[in-house]
Amino acid sequence: MLENLIFLSAPIAACILLAGVLSYFGNHILSRGIIFIDIAVAQIAALGTMIGLLLGFTQESHWVEFSSYAFTLIVISAFALTKFQKQKISQEAIIGIIYCLGLGIALLLAEKIPGSSNYITKTITGNILWVTWSQVFHILLLFAPIAIIHIIFRKQFTKISDASKQSKLPYSLGRVRIYELVFYITFGIVIVKSVPIAGIFLVFILLVAPTAAITLFTNNWKKRFIWSWIIGFLGSLLGVYSSYTLNVSNGPAIVCILGIFVFVLAFVKLFKKATN
């Protein structure tokens, strides 16, 4: 038993960190209704990696990683600037378009690069079980300043997220766009860092499911932040445990547990007699 815990210690630490950061962002994402943004970002990041490889850098070099980040941040900044008071095309639709164009270009470029199928969203797998303490440490280093930024601007971000369903902006358009820029750039960095470690589906579910679960029951931001972190972390733990005992693939196990949990809660809410 002790042996297992030692083996799982780094992955569990990674899960705590990722569950925390992702569930935090997830709350905002849910309120803004741009659910699939992380899948789009992951594909754009993959495309950025491909561009780096095409420019001649070797797979292991830092330049390729840099190109991935750079490309992602450029695209996501452009996206941040597409926020208008009245959206002709909704932001989720824009995300959809970015995703499918990104995937389309990746498929065309794929011919030129060996191992091309690895840059296509469905196959961006990762396995958090192989994570090492040094990687966990790196994640912490990267996420800490982002956390600080978000603590400083928490009021502004929550206000914009709350307002996204109405046509009225809480600040001037220019000011909103600057906040959006900061928000999405930090978000992009988090996603680009997390996906190679955890895989696209695990990142997605940690982003969406815990917050969906808690937002069914409350709209209070503080409660949502705390509970979504807890749910995300517990779900991951349970997933790893069942992956172990049932001998199933790890990421999918966590996804199924968290996902089904949300649906169960949704149906419970649906059939509850009266709202208390």
Partner 1 sequence: MEILEFMLIPFIACLLLIGANVYFGIHVIKREIIFIDIALAQIAALGSVIATIIFEQFSIAQHHEYHGEDNYFTFSFSLLFCTIAAIVFSLLKNKKIKIPLEALIGIAYAVATAAAVIFLDKSAGGDVHIHDMLTGSLLWVTWHQVVKLAVIIGIVGLFHFIFRKKFFKLSDNYYKDKTGVKNKRFWDFMFYFSFGIVIVQAVHVGGILTVFAFLIIPASISSLYATKWYARIFIGLGIGALVTFLGLYFSWELDVPCSPVIILFLGVVLLLSLIIKRLKKPLKTFRK
Partner 2 sequence: MKNRNLQQLFTATIFILFSMNMVPLSASGNGTLKVVCSFSDYASIAREIAKDKAEVEFIASGEQDPHFVPPKPSFAMQLKDADLWITTGLDLEGWSTTLLDKARNKNIMDGAIGFVSVSDGVNILDKVEKGDRTEGDVHLMGNPHINTGPMNWKVIAHNIAIGLMKVDPDNTAYYEKNRDEFCHKVDVALFGEELTQMIGGDALTKMLENHTLFTFLNKEYQGEKLIGKLGGWLKKAMPFRDKKIVAYHKNWAYFCDTFGLDIIGFIEPKPGIPPSAKHVQFMINLIEEQNINLMLVASYFEKKSPEMIEAKTGIHALFLPLFVNGVAEVSNNFELVDYWIDHINQTIK
Residues lying near partner 2 in the complex (CB under 8 A): 4, 7-8, 59-60, 107, 110-111, 114-118, 123, 125-127, 129-132, 134-135, 196, 199, 240, 243-253
How far is it between the farthest Cα atoms of the chain?
63
Euclidean distance between CA atoms 131 and 135, whole angstroms: 6
Q: Which one of residues 92, 127, 178, 241 is an interface residue with partner 1 (CB under 8 A)?
A: 92
- State the alpha helices, DSSP H only, in 110-220: 133-152, 154-163, 173-198, 200-215
| Token pair belonging to 20 | 């925390």
The piece of 68-76, 120-128, 131-139, 183-191 that touches partner 1 (CB under 8 A) is 120-128
255 is a contact residue toward partner 1 (CB under 8 A): yes
Q: Which is nearer to partner 2, 17 or 185 (by Cβ)?
A: 17
Q: Is the dihedral of CA 231, 232, 238, 242 positive or negative?
A: positive
| Total number of residues that touch partner 1 (CB under 8 A) | 50
Q: List the single partner that 93 binds among partner 1, partner 2, none, CB under 5 to 8 Å by kind.
A: partner 1
Euclidean distance between CA atoms 166 and 131, whole angstroms: 42
Q: How far is CA 25 from CA 18, 229, 265, in A?
A: 11, 11, 21
Q: Which is nearer to partner 1, 134 or 247 (by Cβ)?
A: 247
CB atoms inside a 10 Å sphere around CB 259: 17
User: Between vectors from CA 128 to CA 28 and to CA 137, what angle results, nearest 5°?
Assistant: 80
CB of 53 to partner 1, least distance (A): 18
CB of 148 to partner 1, least distance (A): 28
Q: List the single partner that 77 binds among partner 2, partner 1, none, CB under 5 to 8 Å by kind.
A: none
212 is a contact residue toward partner 1 (CB under 8 A): yes
**Residue pointed to by tokens 């996603």:** 191
Q: List the single partner that 260 binds among partner 2, partner 1, none, CB under 5 to 8 Å by kind.
A: partner 1
| Token pair belonging to 140 | 């912490």
DSSP 242: H
CB of 40 to partner 2, least distance (A): 20
Q: List the single partner that 42 binds among partner 1, partner 2, none, CB under 5 to 8 Å by kind.
A: none
